[in-house]
Every structure is written in structure tokens, then in C-alpha cells.
Structure 1
Amino acid sequence: MITLAVFDMAGTTIDDGGAVYDALRIAVEETGASVSPADLQAWMGTEKRAAITALIELGGGDPTQPADKVDVAFERFRAILDELYTAQTPTPIAGVPEAIADLRASGVQVALTTGFSRDVAEGILDQLGWAVGADGGERAPGTAVDALVCGDEVAAGRPAPYMIHRAMERTGTLAVSEVLVAGDTAVDVQAGANAGAAVTIGVLSGKLDRAAFEGQPFTALLDSVADVSTHLASC
């Protein structure tokens, strides 16, 4: 029995129009490094400082010279993302608020995980009108989740399992056999597998198509998180 569903944010539960991709690419390119689409995709979903460091190296740069290069690029990433989100506010992916509400109504807790820092993630949820934890009851049905875990709150981001385990901690979930994980990137499903989750789902609501998920450790591949309840009912 699944008692906790852990969902990624951008591309999985939230449509940000590709702003994270663009902000990350621009911030790294401003350091003088080049960014290939394949490398960018490979590092999507990971903690953003780690992504910036890796992409600078992959693009022929040295992330340690000068010593504050990654810090400066990270602040530029945040500034660019804020500009993009101001120009085009993120929106929930169709059917996802209803799916979250249905899961919670059936007794399944829902947690969000993200490679964003906490302040960025909370800013996005505020824009959406979504609430976390005890505040959830004050918002309209479908806009509340039980926990939020961010990349800057654990020792390592995806594909490490730590954000999922922290979500279990915050929701009082004891057994990984009761956990479902869903995300739109390779590292999302890798993190689910590494965490030992009973169900790990790749969703096609982000940038990856079915072919891009080949060889990844998912237990199911769905069009959207909106399909999770139906999938669980059929298992």
C-alpha cells in the first residue's frame, strides 16, 4: 500500500515553460563555458550548485577559478529565473492539483522535492497559491501538499536518495515499501530507485520523451502525474 507520493516540481507538477533550462544555460554560458543540450538535460533535476559546477567543467571551464565562480553563477541563475518567472508565471500542469487532492483524500500524503533552494521553491509555490504542511488546510482543495524538501537541505541532491528519505522523515513515513516517486528527468527515477521506493514513475510532462527514459530504473512510464491515481488503482 502506498502512503506517500513524492513528486518533483518543475516539469512534473508545475509547468514553468522551460525557464529552469534557460536560466541554468544562460548562467553557465555567462562564465564562458559552453553548454550542450545533452549535458543540460543530464543535469536537470539535480541540486543547482552541483549542476552549475558540473556544466562549467563539461563546457571547458574551471569552476574553481575564480574561487567564487559557482556562487556568482548561482546568484545569476536565481536572478534570471526570477526574471523569467515574472515574465511568465509558472502554472500547475493540467490535472495535477486534482490528482494531489485525490491522493490526499484517499489517505496518501504528498511531498514535493526539487533541486531549487528553499527560498526559490517557496516563491514558486506562493505564486501558485499552493501551501505546505499545516497551512494546507487554509487553501482551496488541490493546492496543499504535506511536505517540501529542497536540494539545499540535504547532503546531496538527485540521484542521491536523500530528499526522498527526508520527505519520509517529514511525513512520518517509516517504510520505503509505502513510497511512490515520480519525476520528469532521469535523475528523478534514479533517486527513486536509489531510495528503494516501491513505485518509481517517469512522467512525460517535461522535456524527455519515452526514448530518453530507456534504460532508466522506472517501474512505470506515464504521461503525467495526473495519471498516478489511475495507475495505482490498476496495480
Structure 2
Amino acid sequence: MIKLVACDMAGTTIDEHGDVYVALARCVEEAGASTTPEAIQEWMGADKVEAIAALITKGGGIATPEIVQAAFLRFKELLADFYEQNPPVALDGVEDAFRELRSRGVKIALTTGFSRDVADPLLARLGWSLAGEGTTHDDGGLLDAVVCSDEVAAGRPAPHMIHRAMESTGVMDVREVLAAGDTTNDLKAARNAGVTAVGVLTGKLGLEELAGQPHDHILAGVKDIPALLE
């Protein structure tokens, strides 16, 4: 029986219009490196500092700590501007799915390659809060835990964020956890964590690309998770 569903944010539960892709590419290019859509996609879902360092190096730049930190600050500036101009919204059916799962006693966690200072304003904009913290939702909160990549030793594909979500929600058995995401790194992290790995088709990758990764299920979206668990 699944007791915890841990979902990625951008592209999985939140439609942020692909702005994270644009911001990541631009900050790397401004740091003097070249990028390709394929290289950016390879690092989607990963910790953004780790992604920026790898992309700068791959693109022929010099990834000193100072350059990487400056590029990361620029990434956050760009993303904030994009989100202000075109606010992110919840993907279709996600909030209803979360409410349905929580009504069944299933815990809901979000895991993200964003740092806490990026994730919190994004969640506040959506009106998503932790249970007991107060919210516009009638159920007293949509989420049970939020784990950011700067709070663990390594981001995806490492399993640490999923395991931290388990720790935060009191779930001890990996067989009772489902992790969902729209990128290959999401699926790799789920497999590394030993949990049920679910790919969703609400991001940039199609069925063939996600199905080529180790997984248990591929769904149209998070909205289909309640039916899957039935």
C-alpha cells in the first residue's frame, strides 16, 4: 500500500511554461559557455547549481566556484522575472489528485531541483502550503513535506530528496512510496531510492524517451495517480 507520493515540481505538478529551461540556458550562455537543448534536458530535474557547473564545463566555459555562483544568482533573477511576467499555474487535475490522495491517508511531498529560496515563493504564488500552516485550501494544507535540492547532500539522480521526504512524513518502507516526475533524472532518483518510479508526460519528454528509463509506470499526468493506486 502506498503511504507517500513524492512529486517533482516544474513540469510534473506545476506548469511554469518551460521558463526554467530558458533561464538555465541563458545564465550558462551569459557565463561564456554554449548550450544545446539536449544538454539542458539532460540536467533537468537536477540541483541547479550542479547543473550550471556541469553545463558550463560541457559548453567550453570555466566553472570556477565564483563563476558558477554568479551564474546561479543570474538564473534566479531570470526565473523570478519570467514568473512575474507569466505566472506558473498548477497542472490540470493536480490539486484534485492531491486532495483525493490525502483524503485516503496518503502523504504528499514535493521534491525539487530548486533551492528553497526559489521554491517557497513559487509555492506561495500557487497558494500551496504545508498542512497546519494555514492556506486558502479548505483542507488546511495541500502538502505534507517539501524538500529542496540545497537541503540534501546531492540532488537527483541521487535518492536523497525522496528519502528526506520519507523522513519528514514518517514513512519508513520504500515499498510504500511512489515518486513521480517528468524527467529522466526523476526516474533515476526514484529507482535509486528503491521506490515505485512513475514518469508523467506533462513535461518536455515524450513516451518513448521516458519509457527508455527504468520505471514502473508512465502516466499522462499526476492527475492519474489516484486511479493507479486503486
TM-score between both structures, scaled by the size of structure 2: 0.97
Q: Which residue of the partner structure matches residue 27 of structure 2?
A: 27
Q: Which residue of the partner structure matches residue 171 of structure 2?
A: 173
CA distance in 2, matches of 1:215, 1:144: 32
- 8 Å CA contact retained: 1:101, 1:142: no
Q: Which residue of the partner structure matches residue 16 of structure 1?
A: 16
CA distance in 1, matches of 2:3, 2:134: 18
- 8 Å CA contact retained: 1:100, 1:142: no
- In the TM superposition, what is the alpha-carbon distance from 1:111 to its structure 2 partner? 0.2
CA distance in 2, matches of 1:138, 1:84: 25
Which amino acid is the alignment partner of residue 7 of structure 1?
Answer: C
Q: Which residue of the partner structure matches residue 203 of structure 1?
A: 200
CA distance in 1, matches of 2:174, 2:134: 24
Matched, 1:220 2:202: no
CA distance in 2, matches of 1:143, 1:101: 9
- 8 Å CA contact retained: 1:98, 1:142: no
CA distance in 1, matches of 2:146, 2:57: 30
CA distance in 2, matches of 1:136, 1:11: 25
Deviation per CA, 1:175-226, whole angstroms, max 9, x where unpaired? 10100000000000110000000x2100000100011113211100001000
Structure 1, unmatched stretches of 5+, are none
Deviation per CA, 1:111-148, whole angstroms, max 9, x where unpaired? 00000011110100000011024215663349610000
1:227 is paired with a residue of what secondary structure?
A: helix
2:133 is paired with a residue of what secondary structure?
A: helix
- In the TM superposition, what is the alpha-carbon distance from 1:97 to its structure 2 partner? 0.2
How do residues 1-235 of structure 1 correspond to structure 2 at under 5 angstroms?
A: 1-64=1-64, 67-135=65-133, 139-141=137-139, 144-197=142-195, 199-233=196-230
- In the TM superposition, what is the alpha-carbon distance from 1:70 to its structure 2 partner? 0.3
- 8 Å CA contact retained: 1:97, 1:143: no
Q: How much identity, in percent, do the aligned residues show?
A: 51
CA distance in 1, matches of 2:35, 2:104: 44
Deviation per CA, 1:71-119, whole angstroms, max 9, x where unpaired? 0000000000000000011000000000000000000000000000111
CA distance in 2, matches of 1:213, 1:69: 33
2:109 is paired with a residue of what secondary structure?
A: strand
Structure 2, unmatched stretches of 5+, are none
Count of equivalent residues: 230
CA distance in 2, matches of 1:193, 1:90: 29
- 8 Å CA contact retained: 1:147, 1:167: yes
- 8 Å CA contact retained: 2:133, 2:140: no
- 8 Å CA contact retained: 1:129, 1:143: no
